Structure 1
Amino acid sequence: MILALEYHRSPARFMAARGLTATRAGGKMSGMIAGNVSPMRLVNRHAPELPGDGWTRVTPRLSGICGSDLGMLTGRSSPYLSPMTSMPFVPGHEVVGETQDDVPGVPKGSRVVIDPVLSCAARGTTECRWCASGQQSRCDHITTGRISAGLQTGFCADTGGGWSRQFVAHVSQLHVVPDALPDERAVLAEPLACAVHSVRRVKVASGSTAVIIGAGTVGLLTLLALRQLTDVGAVYVVAKHGHQQEKAKALGATAIIEPRKAVRALRRVTTARMHSPERGDDFLLGGVDLAFECTGGAGGLDTALRLVQAGGTVVVSGMPSGNVDLTPLWYRELQLVGAYASGADGADFADAIRLAESAPLDGYVGTTYPLARWREALTHAADAGRLGTVKVAFDPAR
């Protein structure tokens, strides 16, 4: 038996969580949501069985708490994703751990990070066209095969997840971590690979201008990827909290903008024209070439659409929620691009690990918690920005 945090779908608890978060400023999780109406349970459960050849047991060393996890717990996740999960599942897809079995190319005892996508290789199905082309994040078979439905590790009942003392992973998901890379940096490899992927989803012309909406984990790592992997010009970061602003400067932001001043600030630096509609927020005619929406909130996407010049591109990196006025998308003939997980047949992860070794990411994992303190951990993660933290993680062995 292993200790694990299990998620149980309950329509009543889902609606209660959604109602409670709607009454909080910014829709943040409260102690109540991590408590009385939470769908999470700390349990002793049977360790997941190896589904077949090429699978290994993994013992997590650190497992991050992601914004998509919080969206699920606060009732902000879209019901669109419900067929791509299986219950009850153990969350946790940002993991650095140690393998417990020999698999091809990865001997027992290897320290690894995982690509959480459960693609054709893991499921033992004939390769779909996306997996065959190295774009596993677009896999068409994530509800079929030898394991139950689950778009990723952390959403599949059969594999377990990182919020436990053991789960299983397929060799296709494993990336060995260099000895010199500490766990506190290695656990950032998965979100960093997602940031690398989002930057590669669009053509970033040399000298082009960009704005990043949000300076949490996703926003900061997107800034890092933009600076290190492209020839982008000015990059403006919309950051709410002081520690986020400092970290954005350290990663090469051209300027930091407070959320309520975003439209006016970009009007000045891009010489755009600002207009005020009868209802709703101001917008620009003109603006930047690219916007990366990294908050996952309706407000962030709405702002991004209002800051991009005609013919520009908005990349949705945060898991979207809420209703958005798409008029700018139509009127300004913008491109709206989604960026989910990582791709490039492992190249995104390879670059993420390399960047995690060299970039100034010390202190990004501010606090770790044992599984027994899960209520405190989730509440901290939901209010990480205000509390001066970038990433909160579980240390399941504690």
Structure 2
Amino acid sequence: MKAARYYDRGDIRIEDIEQQPLEPGTVRIDVAWCGICGTDLHEYLDGPIFVPAHGHPHPISGESAPVTLGHEFSGTVSELGEGVTDLAVGDHVVVEPYIIRDDVDTSASSNDYHLSPDMNFIGLGGRGGGLSENIVVKRRWVHRISNDVALDEAALIEPLSVAFHAVKRSGVAAGQVAVVGGAGPIGLLTATVLHALGVTVVVSELSPLRRQKAIDAGVADYALNPAEVDVVAEVRELTGGKGADGAFECTSVQVVFDTLMDAVRPTGVIVVVSIWGKPATFDMHKLVMKEVDVRGTIGYVNSHPETIALVESGKVDLKPFITGKIGLEGLVDEGFDTLINRNETAVKILVSPSGAGL
């Protein structure tokens, strides 16, 4: 079968590989669509990061580069391993793409399995990937979705779960006001979750195209250009002088974090959603005097069921965020090139490994 294989920085190859064996307790999924994630771009430009370098196998998967990429994907169950009785061939599914040790508690009551030692992701740390025609995944990580949810939209449920977990970490609730710093893919999806939950959303974003996308998609009540307006003053005016209840840093840019520190009210919460490649600074005195909470967030933990329910309910419309569809052969020249060099023009580019639906 065809698959996108990561060898090293700047070296991704489309190759024919053997499909993974079906084992007891696993599910084979024919991949319908797989999104290109910012993490994939970081691996291509600066990696290997999550991908285990060649000759240095990951301690759980036992694999090292080359590995198959892709962790944001949807598909159809095509084969069931021994012991899997609660799914059926033909079911539409998405995957919670974790690689986690077998002795870690991943039950519905766990709230920290995503922070366990050596955690990695399917499609980065091994165990196949969504940028292939099919994949075999342990039953625990496979989530059924309604056939009423289009499979292209379902491919966005994984990054939407990142946003859902971030919003849950914040404690922001209906009727409150939140500022989202940055309207890239995760920023837009964070705004989507907030809006669906009844929060008034203010987006701060330099790009006019991204600001317009937030408004057109109906996920932002206000979209501000920080180069033209005082975001902090605007937020205070909108909140009767108090400031926002919560803020979400989705850029890994220092000035954005500083703006959010000023924009939240005393006892407000700032959630850092972006991955920072360098140390950040902030005014410790301001943190103390405002009693601001700064919280980190990574991935998701038992977030997929609630995220899927949000999509199935119709409260979230993911169609506006699909800005391109390509085949596997165009992954680098069309997909990566657009997202690296013309990223303002795209939100989520989906790849069809089999070419179906194009």
Give TM class, smaller chain. 0.7 to 0.9
TM normalised by structure 1 equals: 0.75
1:134 alignment counterpart: 110
2:225 alignment counterpart: 258
Q: Is 1:242 matched with 2:198?
A: no
Q: Is 1:195 matched with 2:163?
A: yes
2:87 alignment counterpart: 106
Contact in 1 for aligned 2:145/2:308 (Cα 8 Å): no
Q: Deviations over 1:86-139 (max 9, x none)?
A: 42221211101122212331112322111112345xxxx2343x6462336525
Instruction: Name the SS of the counterpart of 1:386 in structure 2.
Output: helix
Contact in 1 for aligned 2:181/2:247 (Cα 8 Å): yes
Contact in 1 for aligned 2:122/2:128 (Cα 8 Å): yes
Q: Is 1:155 matched with 2:124?
A: yes
Q: Is 1:370 matched with 2:331?
A: no
2:148 alignment counterpart: 180
CA deviation after TM superposition for structure 1 residue 322, in Å? 2.7
CA deviation after TM superposition for structure 1 residue 240, in Å? 3.1
Return the alpha-carbon distance in structure 2 between the equivalents of residues 374 and 185 of structure 1: 19
Letter in 2 for 1:126: D
1:379 equivalent among 337, 346, 351: 337
Q: Is 1:165 matched with 2:125?
A: no
2:307 alignment counterpart: 349
1:339 equivalent among 290, 297, 302: 297
TM normalised by structure 2 equals: 0.83
Q: Is 1:48 matched with 2:24?
A: no
Return the alpha-carbon distance in structure 1 between the equivalents of residues 303 and 321 of structure 2: 27
Q: Measured at CA, do residues 90 and 137 of structure 1 come closer, stay the same or move farther in structure 2, by a change above 3 Å?
A: farther
Q: Is 1:5 matched with 2:16?
A: no
Contact in 2 for aligned 1:244/1:385 (Cα 8 Å): no
Return the alpha-carbon distance in structure 2 between the equivalents of residues 161 and 298 of structure 1: 33
Contact in 1 for aligned 2:252/2:274 (Cα 8 Å): yes
Letter in 1 for 2:116: D
Letter in 2 for 1:293: E
Unaligned runs of 5+ in 1: 14-37, 144-149, 273-284
Q: Deviations over 1:43-76 (max 9, x none)?
A: 22222233x3211222211100111221222227
1:222 alignment counterpart: 190
Letter in 2 for 1:174: V
Contact in 2 for aligned 1:369/1:395 (Cα 8 Å): yes
Return the alpha-carbon distance in structure 1 between the equivalents of residues 331 and 50 of structure 2: 25
Q: Measured at CA, do residues 260 and 81 of structure 1 come closer, stay the same or move farther in structure 2, by a change above 3 Å?
A: farther
| Percent of aligned positions that are identical | 24
Tell me the matched-pair count.
339
Unaligned runs of 5+ in 2: none
Instruction: Name the SS of the counterpart of 1:68 in structure 2.
Output: helix
